[in-house]
Chains A and B, each alone.
Chain A
Amino acid sequence: MSLEAENVTYSYNVGAAAENVALGGVSLTVNRGEWVSVVGHTGSGKSTLAQHLNLLLFPSSGRVLIDGESAREGSPRARELRRKVGLVFQYPESQFFSDTVREEIEFAPSNWGVVGPELEECVDEAVEASGLDPSLLESNPFRLSGGERRRVAIASVIAMKPDYLVLDEPTAGLDASGVRDLTRILNDIRSGGLAVVQVTHDLKSALEHSDRILVLERGRAVITGAPWEIALYLASNPVQGLILPPLARFAHRMRMRGIDVPIHCEVSAIVEALERSRGARQ
């Protein structure tokens, strides 16, 4: 079971003087239970790709397959398939409109006719999965902290019971502890069998948490691979807007000097490799 973008091309303002090719033939496969990150500079096409994955946008050429199935724009099937892919927009809390957290989370399922105990169960599950404190359910969402609001937004998407969760810059605007909490929650969601697709310009976070990473530059796929492959690639092939995290830059230099160390590793591995190489020299 997977979510696939196959050679997707998309332009904004087609035919106009300002026609802008946002995606030029991008492919990506996301399997359930996987955490895939899409990284790139501002304007690289990553948000446009996210909106294709949940059938908000439809490609000018290429196709998007959800569990092997594609659908035409506006078709009833597209609406059904879209439910399998939850999209959390950037700064989702700017779209809150309810007086209580509970109403905010109930909105989508109750629109689909879910009522009574089933609706309650749906809310409870979403609250648990998003790590939200259940005592906040009757609170006004606008009065919560930034980290809590982000969790409400994620809970209201999880309440739709998607199989794939796509998040556009989920850590934007959160402080360090907010980012840590959110990352742990997304990890739990992934372990529960959902796919997590994180769209971000934060290369460091992508390298730390993803199973696989797609790098976009000006609408084109530069490389797809495991975090270590991406770090290795970026060390010798600069991509606009992406700076390798400090430890990877450090490891890269060691490797250039012939010291054997993984490009993507912890402080302890770097220190051990350094001591080893010093020992060998003496």
Chain B
Amino acid sequence: MEQERIFSIRGAVYSYKGATAPALDGIDLEVAPGEWIALLGANGSGKSTLAKICNALLAPTQGACFALGLDSSDPDCVPLIRQGVALVFQNPEDQIVCAIVEEDVAFGPENLALSPDDIRGRVDRALELTGLSELRRRGSHTLSGGQKQRLALAGALALEPRALVLDEATSMLDPEGRASLLECLRELNRRGMTMIQITHIMEDTAYASRIAVMESGRIVWDGSPSDFWGGEYLRRGFDEPGELALYRELRSRGLILPDTRPVVEDILEALCL
């Protein structure tokens, strides 16, 4: 059955036990298939809580969250949501469980009681998508930081989810590792994967199709990347990386169009350089 919305969150409130203020304070968010949402916000703004609401690790204390058309407050739906919405965390070490790369990727599907052929197929595809096919027999501990994060992603992909929620998945990586992970995410999105990407790194927003900003448990801005890069991020006090400054300057002089992405390679292409 084709779902109209991957996520439909309405008036969601979430309070942790003993906390004075709610972590989420009335979230409304509709996400269509194939969207790539970058979710920005300061520490403590509620981004990670929202991530956990999205894959039913938490259920809203008020309001509702439907993921893949399933109600996350219904215990029967919870396992299906967790299978269909994969979560990737900041530290890959937190979700790598096996000593050998391919065994780690197989862990999730094995727990779904699938046939060996089906498992093998899923592992092969996940390794291929994350560019780890050649490293499949390696020890997980011998991988670099960027490779480990791609392994964590492969483990999530082996569940063949409809949506990915990435919670600061690039923040522990060096520039090379970050670039390789972003490239991988771009490919997944091109193939139709819906993504919610939590980050505080401006560069990570370059490929999103939509950007949302959180503050004190609420979404305070939600709009197109072009509007965001056009200056909204400066008004909201985010840092300005060099390529964004360059993008803004060229855009204000009419040398590039607003829909160009603030990425060096895309700006060069727009300028025919």
Contacts and interface: CB of A to CB of B under 8 A. Distances in A.
Interface of A: 41-42, 175-176, 201, 203, 241, 243, 245-247, 249-250, 253-254, 257, 267-268, 270-271, 274-275, 278
B246 A271 contact: yes
Interface residues of B, number: 23
Contact of A250 (B175, B200, B203, B268): B268
B253 A271 contact: yes
B249 A250 contact: no
B242 interface: yes
B264 A250 contact: yes
Given A201-B174, A246-B264, A257-B273, A275 B253 contact: yes
Contact of A253 (B239, B255, B268): B268
Given A250-B267, A271-B249, A275-B253, 9 more contacts: A175-B200, A201-B174, A246-B203, A246-B241, A247-B246, A253-B264, A254-B273, A267-B249, A274-B271
Interface of B is mostly: helix
A257 B264 CA distance: 15
B242 A245 contact: yes
Interface string B74-108: 00000000000000000000000000000000000
Contact of B246 (A203, A241, A253, A270): A270
A278 B271 CA distance: 10
A247 B242 CA distance: 6
B253 A246 contact: no
5 contacts: A42-B144, A42-B174, A175-B200, A246-B242, A268-B249
A42 B250 CA distance: 36
B243 interface: yes
B202 to A, nearest CB: 9
Given A250-B268, A257-B273, A267 B175 contact: no
B176 interface: yes
B245 interface: yes
Given A246-B264, A250-B264, A267 B176 contact: no
B174 A176 contact: no
Contacts of A245: 242
Contacts of A271: 246, 249-250, 253, 255
Given A246-B264, A250-B267, A241 B174 contact: yes
A243 B179 contact: yes
B181 to A, nearest CB: 13
Interface in B233-273: 239, 241-243, 245-246, 249-250, 253, 255, 263-264, 267-268, 271, 273
A253 B253 contact: no
